[in-house]
Amino acid sequence: MSDRMSRGETDRGWAWVIVAAVTIINLAILPIQQCYGLVFTDRFRSLGITATQTSFILHLNGTITCSLGLISGPMMKRFRFRTVGFFGGLTVAIGICMTAFAVSVPSIIITYCIIVGIGHGVMFPATTLALNTYFRKKRNLAMGFTVTLTGLGPILMPLLIAKLLENYATTGTLLILAGIAMHSLVGASLLKPFNENKITSITKGNDITESSAECNDNGVAKRAESLNVENETEVKNGGVNCELLSNDVERKTEDRERPLSRNAELANRTEGKRKILSRIFKHLDLDLLKDSRYVAVILGMGVSLVAETNFNAMIPFVLSELAGLERTSIATVMSIQAASDITGRLCVPLLAHKAGWTSRNLYVFSLIGSTLGRTILSAWGTTYVAVVCVALIIGVAKGTKAVFQALIIPDYVSLERLPAASGMQMVCNGILSIAIGPIIGLVHDSMNGYVGALHFTSFLSLSCVFMWYAGGFLRFKKETVNRREKEDTIQVEEDACECSA
Top-confidence residue, 253 or 181: 181
Can you say whether the dihedral through the CA atoms of 39, 41, 42, 44 is positive or negative? Answer: positive
Query: For every residue of 166-205, which 3-state class applies, written as one string?
Result: HHHHHHHHHHHHHHHHCCHHHHHHCCCCCCHHHHHHHHHH
425 pLDDT tier (thresholds 50, 70, 90): confident
The answer to whether residue 496 scores a pLDDT higher than 80 is no
Alpha-carbon span 295 to 329, nearest angstrom: 42
Give mean pLDDT, residues 83-90. 90
Can you say whether the dihedral through the CA atoms of 151, 152, 153, 155 is positive or negative? Answer: positive
The answer to whether residue 17 scores a pLDDT higher than 70 is yes
451: amino acid identity, one letter:
V
Alpha-carbon span 359 to 400, nearest angstrom: 10
Alpha-carbon span 71 to 301, nearest angstrom: 20
439: amino acid identity, one letter:
I
pLDDT, residue 213, reads 43
Give mean pLDDT, residues 182-206. 68
- Tell me if 364 sits within 8 A of 469, measured CB to CB: no
CA 472, 367, 344 angle in degrees (round to 5)?
120
Helices (H), 1-104: 2-8, 15-29, 31-34, 36-47, 51-67, 69-78, 81-99
pLDDT, residue 241, reads 47
Alpha-carbon span 174 to 187, nearest angstrom: 21
Give mean pLDDT, residues 138-148. 78
Provide the percentage of residues in the chain whose pLDDT is more than 70. Answer: 73
Alpha-carbon span 424 to 438, nearest angstrom: 22
Alpha-carbon span 308 to 368, nearest angstrom: 11
Tens digits of per-residue pLDDT, 42-59?
899 899 888 889 989 988
pLDDT, residue 209, reads 44
Tens digits of per-residue pLDDT, 445-490?
888 888 899 999 999 999 988 888 877 766 544 455 455 555 555 5
Alpha-carbon span 50 to 39, nearest angstrom: 16
Alpha-carbon span 442 to 145, nearest angstrom: 38
Alpha-carbon span 177 to 32, nearest angstrom: 7
Tens digits of per-residue pLDDT, 298-313?
898 999 988 998 898 8
Top-confidence residue, 228 or 320: 320
Q: Tell me the helices (H) and strands (E) count for the chain, helix number first.
A: 20, 0
Top-confidence residue, 6 or 179: 179
Question: H or E element: which one contains 501?
Answer: none
Tens digits of per-residue pLDDT, 341-365?
888 888 887 888 787 788 888 899 9
430 pLDDT tier (thresholds 50, 70, 90): confident
Alpha-carbon span 199 to 409, nearest angstrom: 28
Give mean pLDDT, residues 157-169. 92
Angle between helical axes of 36-47 and 153-181 (0-180°, round to 10): 70
pLDDT, residue 221, reads 45
Is residue 375 helix, strand or coil? helix
Tens digits of per-residue pLDDT, 265-298?
666 667 666 666 666 666 666 777 788 888 888 8
Residue 189 burial class via C-beta count within 10 angstroms: exposed 0-12, middle 13-18, buried 19 and up: middle
Alpha-carbon span 139 to 128, nearest angstrom: 11
Top-confidence residue, 439 or 70: 439
Tally of CB atoms within 10 A around 380: 15
- Tell me if 335 sits within 8 A of 482, measured CB to CB: no
Alpha-carbon span 418 to 410, nearest angstrom: 6
pLDDT, residue 96, reads 96
* Residue 28: HSE in the Cβ half-sphere, 13 Å Cα cutoff: 29
